Amino acid sequence: MDLQLTVPCAVVSTQPVRPILKHIGDSRQSVVCDVSGGVPTIMYWGAALNAASLANLDAIATATARPNMPGVTDAINAITLVPCHGDGATMRPGIGGHRPGGRHWAPRFSFVSCEVVGQQLISIARDDVAQLELETKLECSAWGTLHAAATLRNVGESRYLLTNLSITLPVVESATQLLTFSGRWAREAQLHRRDFVDRAWTAENRTGRTSHEHLPLIFATERAADEWNGQVWGAHLAWSGNSVLLAEVLPDGRKYVQLGELLHAGELCLEPGESYATPEVIGVWSGNGLNSATQALHRNVRLRSHHPTVLQPRKVMLNTWEAVYFDHDLSRLCALADAASNVGVERFVLDDGWFGSRRNDKSGLGDWFVSPDVYPDGLAPLISHVQKLGMDFGIWVEPEMVNPDSELFRAHPEWVLAATGYEPVLARNQLVLNLAHPDAYAHIYRQLDALLAENDIAYVKWDMNRAHVHATGSDGAAGTHNQTRAVYQLIDQLRAAHPNVEIESCASGGGRIDHEILRRTERVWTSDCNDALERQIIQRGTSMLVPLEVMGAHIGPPTAHTTGRRQSLSFRGATAMFGHMGVEWNLLTLRDDQQMQLRHIIGLYKQHRELLHSGDFVRYDVTSDNSAVAHGVISTDKRKALMSYAQLSTAQGLVPSLWKIHGLLSDIEYTVTYVPLGDSREHASFTMTGAQLGRIGIQPPMLFPESAVLIHLESQ
């Protein structure tokens, strides 16, 4: 343990102090911080430093000292983890708030203590005037990620109204490209690349969930960086509520990214002795392009999850939504289960429409009891039928919502997130149930606990289908922060009571995908769009944050319900292969040949899922016009791989360019085999070394738009 203790706390001078440099890191990365100001400043974040460099850390401070500049404050303000306006920083402050009357709105912290324990650096700083204490934590994980968080404590005698507390990470000036994500319902995770040479970019999310529109993930890269080359710095806000992201180039050329929870006016008020902890920011650095950076994020999900179900094979599921919608009929559902079992499905998930008065989307939310009208004998007959077929049973719920037309709302209209005196804003005929209300929380927990205790349910699809609008808590203040925490608590409590139940995070598709929700769930629903063409892009973007085994990917019907496009089963199957495969299709309508082909595709998934869900996912840039995409999974020992090449649209050239398959062992020979998807396409197999595959490449076949091929590579 490296310890610096008890420097007297006072109003600090704007004059620079002697740096105190600390190092955390391992063979993957190094982080060097100056902690002299109380709030750490990252001086270096990148490739691991050798022993000689670590023995002379002071040289970093000397070599990188910035000169005084005209037209600015005398102090050269560092980009600390939490920049303070009171220090003279003109960037967006990492902390904002005030005491009654607007006092102490721009705090200035000074050093109290710092300790390094293992690969974690913990610093405490204090402002005796504003009577605030700030604790910051930085940690380098064994799997290559950097974790940052801060906690603000009110050590004064009056309340402190907090408006923001964010984490700020510096970016080197050579990072001249910015990668950000946008989206909407049924078109999530759309990647954008832009110049990062001046001005600022920001995204604010007020939906009350991680959101379809602004995935809280950002990358800064060197201009020449791609999937395999160049330096990359990335940051993800692990939080399932409102958020704000910022990337800025300062007038002096310095760059930074800032991520934090977006707080509505008056949403967080710290009473004396209370504290607020930021969501965790997960940083990644790579010297070998985007694939390496995103693989570190994948390992963060894989290695930080403690759920026993994660280690099990990801079962092929059938979800009933696009097969039956609200038309629940026991005999029809049993027949659907028979058809699902016949093609190799392992889990049957009953979607919306099984409870209360829920015959359409206008009523029943909040009444989590089995509908006696639709299921007079309860769910037991259906569950028994499903289990006799060798499948387990899953169910859909939306615990955070309530319909005005429900028994719950009629009994307790005060249990919603709505402002007194205003007509509440409806969306999808529903309101948000205030889970921060103790009685509402207890009621929903009892219903869900009883549902899981009284029925043999192995899987829960947890949905959240509307944004927070004017979401006001019982105290009259904005309620999204408390609601998000209550959702976490509810899931955690149910997991403790039912540890073997898997949970899927869904929010109208991909509206709640982040690493914090994945600490308590095993799957995310990537998108409500099962159109394979759209899914190729959606899943590619989402793969930059989460690994394949938690990313729901379904084979939908021939005509996509969200776009009207009609696509081949081989294309739909190849697309769903790279995720947690499922089926969302009325299998009672299949012809014999479709049934046979679907069974074949599901069999391929089962054959390769151990590789798909344990290896390193890689993306390839194969065309300049984005007419085709390629990706795959390489085993951790690099001895085998499964790859996909998908033609999305017509290309500029008549013949596709050679596909250079990087990431393999250069001196090992691989047998390259095209994997049949149940269609008539045939290709000969051949053998090449890893060096030949990476430097020369292979010729992709000429494909029609919206079609794909799979290839399997295995070392001799």
Residues designated catalytic: 463, 528
Task: For 362-428, give the DSSP string.
Answer: TS-TT--SB-TTT-TT-SHHHHHHHHHTT-EEEEEE-TTEE-SSSHHHHH-GGGBS--TTSPPPPBT
Rounded to 10°, the helix 569-576/532-542 angle is: 10
Neighbouring residues of 498: CB distance < 8 A, sequence distance ≥ 6 = 449, 452, 453
Of the candidates 541, 387, 369, the one whose C-alpha atom is nearest the C-alpha of residue 524 is 541
Nearest CA to 136 among 245, 277, 242? 277
Residue 559 DSSP one-character state: B
Question: b vs e for 252-275, b when ≥16 Cβ sit within 10 Å of the residue's Cβ?
Answer: eebbbbbbbbbbbeebbebeeeee
How far from each other are the two terminal CA atoms of the chain, in whole angstroms? 48
Bridge partners, residue 133, by sequence? 126, 153
Residue 454 CA to residue 395 CA, distance in Å, equals 13
167 neighbors 148 (Cβ within 8 angstroms): yes
Q: Phi-psi bin for 81: left (phi > 0), alpha (psi -120 to 50), beta? A: alpha
Instruction: Give all strands (DSSP E) within 577-698, no chain letters.
Output: 580-583, 616-620, 628-634, 640-647, 669-675, 686-689
The span from the CA of 18 to the CA of 29, in Å, is 25
Distance CA 537, CA 529 (A): 11
DSSP for 30-97, please give it.
EEEEE-TTSS-EEEEEESPP-HHHHTTTHHHHHHTPPPP-TTS-SS----BSS--GGGT--S--SEEE
Among residues 32, 52, 50, the alpha carbon closest in space to that of 121 is found at 32
Q: How far apart are CA 632 and CA 617, in angstroms?
A: 6
Q: What tokens does 392 get?
A: 């387990």
- Integer Cα distance of 197 and 664 in angstroms: 35
Q: Is 195 helix (H, G, I), strand (E, B) or coil?
A: strand
Q: How many residues does the chain have?
A: 716
Backbone angles phi, psi at 105, to 5 degrees: -85, -15
Q: CA-to-CA distance for 716 and 713, rounded, in angstroms?
A: 10
Closest to 278 measured CA to CA, from 243, 252, 322: 243
Token couple for 458:
């192995």
Instruction: Write phi, then psi, for 564 (nearest 5 degrees).
Output: 80, 0
